[in-house]
Amino acid sequence: MNVPNALTILRIFFVPLLVAALVQEEFYIKAGAWTITNEWLSLAIFLVAAGTDILDGYLARRWKQVTTIGTLLDPIADKLLVSAALISLVQVRALPAWMAILIIGREFAVSGLRSIAAAEGYTIKASDLGKTKMFSQVVAISCMLLSVRHPKLVRPGLFLMWAVVFFAIASAMSYFAKFWRKVDESIKGRRRRELLALERRRQRALVRQKRSSGSAAGGLAGTIWKPPEVN
């Protein structure tokens, strides 16, 4: 296992730590004169995990260690991290549930489109809107994590979450508008070719059947009838 893949897997292991740190409201750590409460710990875990998302892609490209497993695991790890953070914020009543559902639903919809496009030979790369959405998502979730114990950050956090919702919807519409027609036409074309191939096989089978029937009839017609001998 190379380093970029190890960072991706590490990001997945951060997910339960983030959830545990956020939902345990009375949890804190003493570090000398400093007291680290659960919202700061969850923020640190989230930012470190988000940092591995940038680092693993950079190292994979720089060291030419882009692998199939890394390509598959990276978006899964991102979605697990973001989904866990959003659901945990809903659990502690810091975020409206509909916002979390909308953002997570968008992630699943785009992932489904990517899978269908990949099966048809198309690669959907992250657009500028998608990258903006990811950046605003990290900033907004970070602010919402701190708003759990700091009420002054609730309004700025919700404003940033509204920005995330906007970019999520806009980027999803961009992906679907750009690739759905291509994917749909590709699927229809493949289905048409399959039907034509099936029809050709059926026609060849009928021709062979007619030939075999004609050969059998010709063989019967060519036999000479002889009357039975009378003793």
What's the chain's Rg over C-alpha atoms?
31
Report which of residues 1 and 152 the model is more confident about: 152
pLDDT at 222 over 70: no
| C-alpha torsion sign, points 77, 80, 83, 87 | negative
Q: What is the pLDDT of residue 95?
A: 93
Is 230 in a helix, a strand, or coil?
coil
Whole-angstrom distance, CA of residue 104 vs CA of residue 112: 12
Q: How far is CA 99 from the centre of its chain?
A: 19
- Averaging pLDDT over each range in 78-87, 119-128, 131-140, 180-189, which range is the top one? 78-87
The answer to whether 92 touches 27, Cβ cutoff 8 Å, is no
**Mean pLDDT in residue range 23-41:** 75
Mean residue pLDDT across the chain: 82
Q: Enumerate domains of the chain plus CATH numbers.
A: 3-190 (1.20.120.1760)
Q: Give the per-residue pLDDT at 226.
A: 56
pLDDT tens digits along 93-118: 899 999 999 999 998 888 888 777 77
Q: What DSSP character marks residue 152? A: G
Both tokens assigned to 163: 């920005």
Residue 45: name the closest of 88, 93, 75 by CA. Answer: 88
What is residue 213's predicted lDDT score, i.e. its pLDDT? Answer: 75
Is the dihedral angle over the CA atoms 197, 199, 200, 206 positive or is it negative? positive
- Give the pLDDT confidence score for residue 159 in this predicted structure: 94
Mean pLDDT of 66-81: 82
DSSP codes joined into one string, 76-138: HHHHHHHHHHHHHHHHTTSS-HHHHHHHHHHHHHHHHHHHHHHHTT---PPPHHHHHHHHHHH
CA dihedral 62, 67, 72, 76 (to 10 degrees): -40
Band (pLDDT 50/70/90 cuts) for residue 39 is confident
